[in-house]
């Protein structure tokens, strides 16, 4: 075969593949390969066509933009075509663009003494969504259309009206009688995450990225679905116009803004290519922290007169260019799936990938979350997959390219035994508790049942136990912990306190000084606050906040350990599910043994810093009515529970009453339900146990009427801002919380007090504006001292 015939057949192959990708992207909103892959195929085709111009045909994907409209929507012909943009990938591409602009405008290049006229550019982020045209007649939104193939789009008038920041009517005055506004419809990163979470929960389809989510949401035949999706609009240009507009691009965008149109906050003016490059770098650095996804920035010659002079080439303006960022999605091969065991024993699939560079970082592993996700993706080992790396999130497998599945692809199977310790792997059950009944369903998580006998779980448990916000033992890194576990020197957190100099000195990277330092750090951790200790235990679902609540409210480990699930639900923000996790953690005999060893004076000798006295907050929330309500008696709500409590005043009286007695205060159906509930011995016993526990904790039902003074700062909200010199923010926060205050991140009229250290900025300004109480660190320390802290 000749080179030309090889090229001809490759060209046909590329066109067929690009047509298919185009159709899936523009019509179905379901692209099967990432944009970067599309770009590569497109460039290969373009290069071949440049080499063999005779092979270019009018139907080649290089000769058109976009794709046909989906026939279900009406068609709209664009009066002014909706064009595409040329791309710059390297800085040199941008300098070439600037050179073409200057040549096109016949501007001298300048000499050693300067003197060259500078071209002004508007700089905007290139939002990753889909282009939309909005037509305003006499200031009223009359039509919305997609870009389609650039000359004909789809009529999505009904759908665009559901986008919250699209004005249905222009504000102010001076707008042209006919004004076609163009811009991007997109979804913010958080909107996308929330939508996917909701879709997962409701068993709906999830989206691979915010762009697909925006496209799929906008092109819905049922506009109610569009309305329920977090879509946003950002305007970047105009189409047909009848009337006057400013003579620069930025001038026009600013006028549009005055008329109520959302434009980018990042819009900037640059003088010449150098300032454009500086803009590119600045936005590039902030790319991850922007609330929406962008795939580059767009530079446009600012003067409309210049734009007219430069004109168009094929379907791209000569006066604008997109300078792209590295793609967030790439294709690679799934070499294998391995299973990792986490702190709570969850066995999770991890994708081992053929290394691929995604936005400048080489990725060779990606998360697959859980087995439900593996099923949802339909992924097999050997598949070609799309990998996405957005911000600091762990890279994810988002899609399988089914067309590229090899014949020998293998299914992903969950192992029957733990890959680390060999214990059995169980599928977790989801328990739903409602109206005194428990129903079970299969969860998506698989767990190794080995607990601390599993080296993987033990290592993670120890890493968590010693971490800064837990027991805060410095000098004990992950590597050291791995060695300690692998060499059998520790089998539980308690063993940390039994470590000897001779054992540590033999570990890698330790010498006499570091060894003594570590032993000292371990010894120094022996008096943790109760909250730190509870957090350090690593109870599933108990994070720092929950640990603080348990410590603050119950005030002793003894109570936390004994508390029945229902009793735990009296605590703020603790629901029944978490309550059951806490209860079963402390019911486990191995956990009890470890805790006992940690606290035993002869063994580890930890001394918890406990408040000891049950908090006023707890006493205030415990009432007989609340307790009856928590029993979840069928058909009895909080109102019924209150009536029973008012009439009978204590549990035994209710247990002894017959339904006719209850009838005096409750409707017949409820009265019978209560009687029937307590006729079940298990229910009656449970109620008695809860009451007994509450009484053992020092509660009495007569407290129902007592008004209890809370902690000194109960009900107050404090804000910490600027830097504190005498203590860390974490410590200051902990102290305030111990006094009952909430510590918030922002200042509002409800803020009780602002502690402002050096460097305080907008929060302090806002506080003074609102006339709030403000103190510096010295005054704060005095205030703490007044409370004995």
User: Would you tell me which residues interact with ligand IVH (CB under 6 A)?
Assistant: 83-85, 124, 126-127, 131, 147, 184, 236-237, 298, 317, 320, 322
With a CB cutoff of 8 Å and minimum separation 6, the contacts of 720 are 729, 732, 733, 743, 754, 755, 757
Nearer to ligand IVH, 11 or 69 (CB): 69
Rounded CA-CA distance 581/565 in Å is: 9
**The dihedral of CA 474, 479, 481, 484: what is its sign?**
negative
Q: What is the DSSP letter of 274?
A: H
Q: What is the number of other CB atoms lying within 10 angstroms of the CB of residue 525?
A: 22
Rounded CA-CA distance 334/412 in Å is: 11
Q: Say if CB 448 and CB 423 are below 8 A apart.
A: yes
Determine whether the annotation assigns residue 300 to a binding site: yes
Determine whether the annotation assigns residue 421 to a binding site: yes
**The dihedral of CA 387, 388, 389, 395: what is its sign?**
negative
List residues bridging with 111 in a β-sheet. Answer: 114
Provide the terminal-to-terminal Cα distance of the chain, rounded to the nearest Å.
88
Nearest approach in angstroms of CB 182 to ligand IVH is 7
Nearest approach in angstroms of CB 775 to ligand IVH is 46
Determine whether the annotation assigns residue 84 to a binding site: yes
Nearest approach in angstroms of CB 290 to ligand IVH is 13
Nearer to ligand IVH, 247 or 762 (CB): 247
With a CB cutoff of 8 Å and minimum separation 6, the contacts of 508 are 479, 480, 483
3-state DSSP helix/strand/coil % of the chain, to nearest 5: 40, 20, 35
Point out the catalytic residue in the list 46, 126, 257, 479. Answer: 126
* Active-site residue flag, 126: yes
Nearest approach in angstroms of CB 264 to ligand IVH is 7
Rounded CA-CA distance 533/526 in Å is: 10
Determine whether the annotation assigns residue 418 to a binding site: yes
Cα-to-chain-centroid distance, residue 366: 17
Q: Which residue is nearest to ligand IVH (CB)?
A: 131
Nearer to ligand IVH, 290 or 714 (CB): 290
Determine whether the annotation assigns residue 39 to a binding site: yes
Determine whether the annotation assigns residue 147 to a binding site: yes
* Strands 346-358, 396-400: pairing kind: unpaired
Nearest approach in angstroms of CB 265 to ligand IVH is 12
Nearer to ligand IVH, 26 or 552 (CB): 26
With a CB cutoff of 8 Å and minimum separation 6, the contacts of 739 are 711, 712, 713, 787, 789
Nearest approach in angstroms of CB 254 to ligand IVH is 15
Determine whether the annotation assigns residue 184 to a binding site: yes
Nearer to ligand IVH, 11 or 123 (CB): 123
Determine whether the annotation assigns residue 85 to a binding site: yes
Nearest approach in angstroms of CB 82 to ligand IVH is 7
Determine whether the annotation assigns residue 666 to a binding site: no
Orientation of helix 638-648 relative to helix 668-679, angle to 10°: 80
Nearer to ligand IVH, 312 or 501 (CB): 312
Nearer to ligand IVH, 131 or 255 (CB): 131
With a CB cutoff of 8 Å and minimum separation 6, the contacts of 343 are 457, 460, 461, 463, 464, 538
Q: Which residues are annotated as a binding site for Zn(2+)?
A: 418, 421, 454
Residue list for the binding site: 35-39, 84-85, 124, 147, 184, 300, 324, 418, 421, 454
> What amino acid positions are annotated as catalytic residues?
126
| Binding site residue list for NAD(+) | 35-39, 84-85, 124, 147, 184, 300, 324
């Amino acid at each position: 075969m000749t080179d030309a015939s090889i090229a001809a057949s490759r060209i046909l192959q590329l066109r067929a593949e690009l047509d298919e990708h185009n159709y899936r992207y523009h019509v179905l909103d379901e692209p099967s390969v990432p944009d970067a892959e599309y770009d590569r195929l497109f460039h290969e085709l373009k290069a071949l066509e440049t080499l063999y111009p005779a092979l270019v045909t009018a139907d080649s994907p290089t000769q058109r933009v976009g794709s046909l409209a989906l026939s279900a929507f009406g068609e709209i012909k664009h009066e002014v075509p909706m064009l595409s943009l040329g791309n710059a990938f390297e800085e040199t591409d941008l300098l070439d663009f600037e050179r073409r602009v200057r040549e096109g405008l016949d501007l001298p290049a300048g000499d050693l003494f300067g003197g060259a006229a500078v071209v002004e550019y508007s700089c905007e982020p290139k939002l990753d969504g889909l282009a939309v045209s909005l037509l305003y007649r006499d200031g009223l939104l009359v039509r919305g259309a997609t870009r389609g193939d650039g000359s004909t789009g789809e009529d999505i008038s009904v759908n665009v009206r559901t986008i919250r920041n699209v004005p249905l009517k222009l504000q102010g005055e001076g707008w042209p009688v006919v004004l076609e506004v163009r811009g991007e419809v997109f979804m913010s990163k958080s909107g996308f995450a929330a939508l996917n979470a909701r879709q997962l929960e409701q068993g709906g389809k999830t989206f691979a990225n915010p762009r697909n989510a925006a496209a799929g949401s906008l092109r819905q035949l049922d506009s109610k679905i569009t309305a329920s999706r977090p879509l946003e609009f950002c305007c970047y240009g105009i189409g047909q116009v009848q009337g006057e507009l400013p003579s620069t691009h930025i001038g026009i965008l600013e006028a549009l803004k005055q008329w109520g149109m959302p434009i980018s906050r990042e819009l900037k003016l640059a003088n010449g290519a150098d300032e454009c490059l500086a803009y590119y770098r600045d936005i590039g650095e902030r790319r991850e922290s922007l609330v929406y996804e962008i795939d580059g920035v767009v530079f446009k010659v600012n003067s409309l007169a210049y734009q007219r002079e430069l004109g168009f080439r094929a379907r791209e303006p000569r006066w604008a260019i997109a300078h792209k960022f590295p793609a967030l999605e790439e294709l690679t091969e799934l070499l294998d799936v391995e299973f990792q065991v986490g702190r709570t024993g969850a066995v999770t699939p991890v994708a081992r990938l053929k290394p691929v560079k995604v936005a400048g970082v080489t990725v060779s592993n990606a998360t697959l979350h859980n087995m439900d996700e593996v099923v949802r993706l339909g992924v097999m080992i050997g598949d070609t997959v799309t990998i996405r790396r957005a911000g600091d999130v762990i890279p994810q497998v988002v899609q399988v390219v089914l067309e590229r599945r090899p014949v020998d692809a293998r299914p992903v199977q969950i192992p029957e035994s733990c890959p680390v310790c060999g214990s059995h792997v169980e599928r977790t059950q989801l328990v739903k508790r409602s109206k005194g009944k428990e129903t079970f369903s299969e969860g998506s998580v698989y767990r190794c049942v080995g607990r601390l006998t599993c080296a993987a779980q033990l290592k993670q448990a120890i890493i968590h136990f010693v971490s800064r916000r837990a027991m805060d033992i410095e000098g004990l890194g992950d590597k050291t912990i791995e060695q300690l576990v692998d060499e059998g020197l520790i089998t539980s957190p308690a063993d940390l306190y039994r470590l000897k100099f001779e054992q540590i000195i033999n570990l890698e990277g330790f010498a006499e000084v570091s060894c003594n330092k570590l032993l000292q750090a371990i010894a120094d951790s022996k008096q943790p606050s109760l909250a730190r200790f509870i957090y350090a235990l690593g109870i599933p679902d108990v994070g720092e906040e929950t640990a603080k609540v348990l410590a603050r409210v119950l005030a002793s480990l003894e109570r936390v350990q004994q508390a029945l699930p229902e009793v735990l639900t009296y605590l703020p923000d603790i629901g029944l599910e978490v309550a059951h996790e806490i209860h079963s953690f402390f019911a486990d005999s191995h956990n009890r043994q470890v805790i006992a060893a940690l606290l035993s004076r002869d063994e580890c000798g930890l001394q918890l810093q406990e408040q000891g006295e049950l908090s006023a907050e707890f006493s205030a929330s415990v009432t007989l009515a609340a307790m009856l309500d928590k029993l979840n008696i069928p058909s009895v709500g909080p109102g019924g529970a209150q009536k029973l409590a008012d009439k009978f005043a204590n549990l035994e009286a209710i247990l002894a009453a017959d339904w006719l007695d209850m009838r005096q205060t409750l409707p017949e159906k409820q009265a019978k339900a209560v009687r029937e509930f307590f006729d079940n011995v298990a229910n009656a016993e449970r109620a008695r146990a809860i009451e007994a526990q509450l009484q053992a904790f020092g509660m009495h039902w007569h407290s129902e009427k007592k008004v209890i003074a809370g902690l000194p700062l109960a009900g107050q909200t404090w804000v910490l801002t600027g830097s504190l010199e005498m203590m860390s923010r974490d410590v200051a926060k902990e102290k305030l919380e111990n006094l009952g205050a909430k510590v918030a991140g922002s200042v509002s009229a409800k803020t009780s007090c602002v502690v402002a250290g050096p460097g305080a900025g907008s929060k302090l300004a806002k506080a003074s504006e609102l006339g709030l109480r403000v103190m510096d660190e010295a005054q704060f320390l005095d205030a703490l001292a007044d409370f004995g802290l």
